[in-house]
Amino acid sequence: MTDGRRSPEELLAQIRQEEARATRGRLKIFFGASPGVGKTFAMLEDARARRAEGVDVLVGVVETHGRRETEAVLAGLAVLPRREISYRGVSLHEFDLEAALERRPSLILVDELAHTNAPGCRHTRRWQDVEELLAAGISVYSALNVQHLESLNDIVARITGVAPRETVPDAVFDGADEIELADLSPEDLLKRMGQGKVYLPEQATRAAEGFFRKGNLIALRELALRRVAERVDAQMRGYMREHGIRETWAASERILVCVGPGSDATRLIRSASRLATALKCEWAALHVERPQDVARPREERESVFEGLELAEQLGGRSITISGHELAAEILAYAATHNVTRILLGRTRRTETWHWRGSLAERLMQAEGDHEVSVLGGEPDTAAPRRAQRLKVESWREYRFSLVIVTGCALAGWAIVQLLSVTDVAMVFLLGAVIVGARCGRGPSLMAAVLSIAAFDFFFVPPYLTFEVTDLRYLLTFLVMLVVALVISGLTVRIREQAEAARSRERRTSALYALSRDLADAADVAAVASTVARHLRETLGGDVAVLLDDESRLAAPAPGDPAFAAEEKERSVADWVLRNRRVAGLGTDTLPASKARWFPLLGPEGAVGVLGIAPLDLDALEDPSVRGLVETFAGQAAVALERVRLSENSRRVALEVEAERLRTSLLSSLSHDLRTPLAAITGSASSLLEDRGQLDAAQRRDLAETVLEEAGRMNRLIVNLLDMIRLETGVLAVQSDWLPMEEPVGVALIRLEGRLGDHPVTVHLPPDLPLLQLDSVLMEQVFVNLLENAAKHTPPGTKIEIEAESRPTEVIVTVADDGPGLPPGEEQRVFEKFYRVPGASGAGGVGLGLTICRGIVTAHGGRMWAEARPGGGAAFRFSIPIRGTPPLLPTEADEAISGTSLPG
Amino acid sequence: MTDAGPLVLLIEDEPQMRRFLRAALDAQGLRLVEAPTAREGLAQAAARSPDLILLDLGLPDGDGLDLTRQIREWSTTPIIVLSARGQESDKVAALDAGADDYLTKPFSVPELLARIRVALRHAARGTGGEADIVVGDLRIDFASRLVFVRGEEIHLTPLEYKLLATLARHAGKVLTHRQLLREVWGPNAANQNHYLRVYMTQLRHKVESDPTHPRLLLTEPGVGYRMRAE
């Protein structure tokens, strides 16, 4: 970037952006500092102007709040009827997204971008409706107040004392194609309010009184103006980038904000985002996952994940790494990523009491060029950690603790008879240590206290009272208490670490098992079922994987759970596939579904969707489970993509092979059909044009040529047709009980005169059984083999036909003592269109042997070629012996001769 | 064989086939009536009473097989079926339905003429002729039921004799497996093709000089057998 040239990736990103922009609708936001500045009015004015230009304008939803001037501008514009939704007995009128999508105007007006939809709508938030309209290619006009911007949310809260709950992600605002600022000075606004021209809902009047103070209005106006100015600045930078203009400042700053449980993640991240915007630099949010954090309450871990999500929304990167030592991990990341500023929240006191100083101190002491900023403000109040702990320790541990102390007391009673009281103290200490080593903090503490009480009560004079006369015993009590607490503390730590390790181990092994099985999955369906099965085993509940079938959702496979076939769920899945966002159960989009659907995103877009109908929703909300599901979805997408790619490449390879065959077939056909045709045409035309120049012998020669060449073409066509029949599976073997002699005989008669000087000898043993053969096809086998032998051997070469009967098959050999096959070509000769190198054009298309093998295979036999020991080639095939033919009825008189019967 | 030569009805839809057959048959003194469709063929067969019918099995307007059956209802005029390779079952059906012989396209004119001669001869003589038959080295004396090869008497079983005699009586003409089985073994053996194969092999070993390269008892693959006529 700094050299003013743009990388290919950047160019590609720009092209993609432009492409997306071309199909997407345009978003124009009318932006204002507060209600009443005239956003809606400006929007309607603009819409009227557009309509006058002939644009198809539709009013999706506009709140006039009964203001007359606004209603006057609205008149004459087409208005979409609202959708009525009854919720808890109240009927609410909401924007009808489905109707708007179906109506497809060029421009639609959707007021109040920050609005929250009533339950039952497709999305929980209106800005999501707008996103979908834009994705469908519909341009949108909308209105937004500055206090509803996500990143400014906390500043607004500090200015006005009211934290708006409805916020819009900054990405929506920044992604808008146009922002129009509706501005009004605070004085004018207050005047308008005084005239009752600003609408305020009744219940909000009191809050509004505080809100519409002049100081607030000035601050909000400043915020709005600054935000718009920042956007203009960003546009300027974008313009410079797009046009390759070198930026005048160096983007050397890089901010890293560290979030963890217990820190106020969202506030930290908003600050980082603002700082980054002001410094015009990249920023990232880092979370270091430590083993001991697993034991933290869920809300704390949740807040970290929310923070990371927020970071992505605000345009930063979010990174999670795991490690033990916070400072070390943060420094390592900072060093490798050239971070210049590290942002931290103020941590709770327990964290600060580290023997090497607080995290901030350790970061500052470390070497490096980074600055460390600690954000002020009140950190979260301590979460009820103890309550969480108690759940871990069962009542059984308390019982165990009680039993041990009782045992110690009894043992002590026995010991005190023989030894001193200090030895009894040792017994109690031992008991406290045992409990501490085995149980949690609570039971350990109980054991320590009970031991002290029992020791004091039973063994320290005065007996049977809690009074202590000898102060030395107080030291014993203290030591017992401290030892019990230290040991139980250690135990709890070890347990937490073990728990964390176990959970990591579970996740890792689940992932390992998944990726191992995915590697074996050969097709798309196998990938889908493997992912579904693994997720089911890991999460419980029902899991379905539906695949993308040419931009539509494929039908569920037979093994998929019932919910995958439901119309409603499929429409959610379909939405997820098209919009590539998570939707369904417990999300902002279509939350009433039974399942939550995740898109499986490959490099080329969504390849399918993953639906999970969990046993209970809470399980799905657990951040570690969510991470796991997302990893699974990622793995599934990669595997699907891999399978698709390999299927594609296989198909392409097949096509190439088919293409090669087609080409070679066409070239041989055009040669092999044209040669005889040329000879026929030439000879026939000579005969036709003959005016007595040709003598009888010449005429005969020409006529013979015609006949011979026609015969050659006929044989070629027969072979081609047989090949097609074999390939298309039309060739049906019509077997009959046949002696091998018969097809051999027919072939020899058919080839009479064509074998030239190739004497054929036939050796068929008399005990050869009848076989199940198709007489026509078997004859073709012999014809092709004999013709082949005659074609590829010099005249005078002997051809032998032999057969040998084996227990389960008959082996037939057609051999010659000619030059033999080129070495190593024994297999290739059976390939389609194969011709022995150097053979003359007199050969066929190279189908003869292929057909032979096809016919033999169709008979259940095998065919192969080998070199003959004495030289020459041998083609052999086997025909299986399938049973024996039914017995012949014996003739009454076997030895009878014709003469013995009277005439 | 001048203008009173035998009348041949050619039922064939391909003009180039008709053209070549017209020239070839005319040169041999045969008179020709042509019909391009099955319907016209049937009409011509009734109107002209031809001495022989050449029937293409692949007619556009109907089944040659049906036409064969219809003609056989009132006429014994010999029918020679013309068909392509790979239609063995059609040929067999046509032969079983009453056709006398078949030729596979492409065929040569001498082959066709030989078939026509055989068909006409059989039609003229009927099946009653019980004179001696001599083909090549083989002589069959029907009166005394004796069979000679190269002048030497050979011994045949009754069924072998019956098979040979049946083929010899129709010498030059193809007989389907079914026809032979019915004739030799009786109507119940019509599907026992292997009887025929076994006896044919035995017969060839007794009659032929080289049974693997038969010259007399020819196999028509997928259809039946034929004894060489001359």
CB contact (8 A) between residue A745 and residue B212: yes
| CA A574 from centroid of its chain's CA atoms | 15
Provide the shortest C-alpha distance from residue B87 to chain A (in Å).
Answer: 11
Q: Which amino acid is at A629?
A: V
- A712, pLDDT greater than 80: yes
Give me the percent of chain B exceeding a pLDDT of 90.
42
Helix/strand/coil for B157: coil
Determine the Cα–Cα distance for residues A710 and A716; give it in Å rounded to an integer: 10
pLDDT for residue A880: 92
**Between A472 and A347, the higher pLDDT residue:** A472
Q: How confident is the model at residue A876 (pLDDT cuts 50, 70, 90)?
A: very high
Task: Please provide the average confidence, as pLDDT, over all residues in chain A.
Answer: 80
Determine the Cα–Cα distance for residues A899 and A8; give it in Å rounded to an integer: 103
- A383, pLDDT greater than 80: no
Range name among A15-29, A390-404, B23-37 with the lowest pLDDT average: A390-404
Give me the percent of chain A exceeding a pLDDT of 90.
10
Instruction: Answer positive or negative: Cα dihedral of A131, A136, A139, A140.
Output: negative
Compute the count of residue pairs across chains A and B with CB atoms less than 8 Å apart: 92
Beta bridge partners of A179: A29
**Between A71 and A183, the higher pLDDT residue:** A183
Q: How many CA atoms lie within 13 A of A518 on its CB side?
A: 24
Q: Which residue of A has its CA nearest to B143?
A: A903
Q: How far is CA B43 from CA B33, B70, B71, B114, in A?
A: 12, 11, 10, 27
Task: Convert the pLDDT of each residue in A477-488 to its tens digit.
Answer: 888 888 878 887
Q: Which residue of A has its CA nearest to B154?
A: A897
CB contact (8 A) between residue A898 and residue B193: no
- A74, pLDDT greater than 60: yes
CA distance between the termini of chain B = 21
Q: Which residue of A has its CA nearest to B218?
A: A746
CB contact (8 A) between residue A897 and residue B156: yes
CB contact (8 A) between residue A737 and residue B108: no
A765-773: average pLDDT:
89
- A161, pLDDT greater than 80: no
Task: Convert the pLDDT of each residue in A292-342 to its tens digit.
Answer: 776 677 777 778 888 888 887 777 888 888 777 888 888 888 888 888 888
Kind plus residue range of the DSSP H or E element containing B218: strand B217-220
A793-821: average pLDDT:
90
Range name among A744-748, A863-867, B82-86, B195-199 with the lowest pLDDT average: B82-86
Q: How far is CA A658 from CA A71, A82, A166, A191, B47, in A?
A: 70, 59, 61, 82, 56
Of A734, A779, A885, the CB nearest to B194: A885
Q: How confident is the model at residue A350 (pLDDT cuts 50, 70, 90)?
A: very low
- A20, pLDDT greater than 90: no
Q: How confident is the model at residue A644 (pLDDT cuts 50, 70, 90)?
A: confident
Helix/strand/coil for A258: strand
Q: Which residue of A has its CA nearest to B161?
A: A898
Q: Which tokens is B35 given?
A: 């019909």
Q: Contact, A454 vs A409, CB < 8 A? A: yes
**Interface contact A755, partner B, CB < 8 A:** no
CB contact (8 A) between residue B213 and residue A746: no
pLDDT for residue A903: 34
A 699-728 residues with CB < 8 A to B: 707, 710, 714, 718, 721
Which residues in chain A touch residue B158, judged by CB atoms under 8 angstroms apart? Answer: 891-893, 896, 901
* Ordered DSSP codes for A313-376: HTT-EEEEEE-S-HHHHHHHHHHHTT--EEEEEPPPHHHH--TT--HHHHHHHSSSS-EEEEE-
Q: Which residue of B has its CA nearest to A771?
A: B194
Helix/strand/coil for A263: coil
Which residues in chain B touch residue A898, judged by CB atoms under 8 angstroms apart? Answer: 144-147, 155-156, 161
CB contact (8 A) between residue A891 and residue B157: yes
DSSP state, residue A457: I
| Predicted TM-score (pTM) of this structure | 0.48
| CA A395 from centroid of its chain's CA atoms | 45
Q: How many CA atoms lie within 13 A of A211 on its CB side?
A: 18
Which residues in chain A touch residue B108, judged by CB atoms under 8 angstroms apart? Answer: 707
* Ordered DSSP codes for A499-568: HHHHHHHHHHHHHHHHHHHHHH--SHHHHHHHHHHHHHHHH-SEEEEEEEETTEEPPPPTTS-GGGG-HH
Q: What is the CA radius of gyration of chain B?
A: 18
- B2, pLDDT greater than 60: no
Determine the Cα–Cα distance for residues A114 and A83; give it in Å rounded to an integer: 18
CB contact (8 A) between residue B106 and residue A885: no
Provide the shortest C-alpha distance from residue A748 to chain B (in Å).
Answer: 6
Provide the shortest C-alpha distance from residue A103 to chain B (in Å).
Answer: 57
Q: How confident is the model at residue A345 (pLDDT cuts 50, 70, 90)?
A: confident
Q: How many CA atoms lie within 13 A of A84 on its CB side?
A: 4
Give me the percent of chain A exceeding a pLDDT of 70.
88
Determine the Cα–Cα distance for residues A750 and A452; give it in Å rounded to an integer: 117
Q: Contact, A460 vs A447, CB < 8 A? A: no
Q: If we measure between CA atoms, which residue out of A880, A531, A560 comes closest to residue A735?
A: A880
Provide the shortest C-alpha distance from residue B214 to chain A (in Å).
Answer: 6
- A804, pLDDT greater than 90: yes
Of A710, A770, A892, the CB nearest to B197: A770
CB contact (8 A) between residue A903 and residue B144: yes
Provide the shortest C-alpha distance from residue A549 to chain B (in Å).
Answer: 43
Q: Which residue of B has its CA nearest to A704?
A: B108
pLDDT for residue A863: 93
Q: How far is CA A53 from CA A39, A49, A56, in A?
A: 21, 7, 9
Which residues in chain B touch residue A776, judged by CB atoms under 8 angstroms apart? Answer: 86, 88, 221-222
| CA A163 from centroid of its chain's CA atoms | 38
Q: Which residue of A has its CA nearest to B107?
A: A711
